[in-house]
């Protein structure tokens, strides 16, 4: 049972344009969401997070939007840079139970020149 889904395995975007990565979840008990970025031969690194009490969180070029009613979140990268090319994982947890992070399957972003 995949509770966190990233339905796009890959995405290609031109440098300077906006990258939008999507994530859907099914567990209504999730109340905290994170995005991780992973380069080859490295572990995932934390990028940005959002609590369910918010609908938007921004950090530089990265913005995460949360739509609780649709159980959907998205990561926007503006402007996209070649160094953003990586695999992006969405993750979620229930802070009340301090449960483990549940990850999606990842989206491979390729930013082209």
Do 108 and 10 contact (CB within 8 A), yes or no? yes
Give Cα 79 distance to the centre of its chain: 16
Counting residues that bind other proteins (by CB under 8 A) gives 26
List the one residue from 42, 60, 70, 113 that touches other proteins (CB under 8 A).
42
Distance separating alpha carbons of residues 65 and 61, to the nearest angstrom: 13
Start-end of H helices in 1-113: none
Contacts of other proteins in 80-109 (CB under 8 A): 89, 93, 95, 98-106
Does 57 help bind other proteins (rule: CB under 8 A)? Answer: no
Does 10 help bind other proteins (rule: CB under 8 A)? Answer: no
Long-range CB pairs of 44-48, under 8 A, 24+ apart, other chains included: 44/89, 47/75, 47/88, 48/75
- Nearest distance from residue 45's CB to other proteins, in Å? 7
- Nearest distance from residue 33's CB to other proteins, in Å? 9
Which residues contact other proteins by CB under 8 A? 2, 4, 6, 9, 32, 34, 36, 41-46, 49, 89, 93, 95, 98-106
């Amino acid at each position: 049972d995949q509770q966190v889904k990233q339905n796009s395995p890959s995405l290609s975007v031109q440098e300077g344009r906006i990258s939008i990565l999507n994530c859907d979840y099914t567990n209504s008990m999730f109340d905290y969401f994170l995005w991780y970025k992973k380069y080859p031969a490295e572990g995932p690194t934390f990028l940005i997070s959002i609590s369910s009490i918010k609908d938007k969180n921004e950090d530089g070029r990265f913005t995460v939007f949360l739509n609780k009613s649709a159980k959907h979140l998205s990561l926007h990268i503006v402007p996209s840079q070649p160094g953003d090319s990586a695999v992006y994982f969405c993750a979620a947890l229930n802070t009340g139970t301090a449960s483990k992070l549940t990850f999606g399957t990842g989206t491979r972003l390729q930013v082209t020149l």
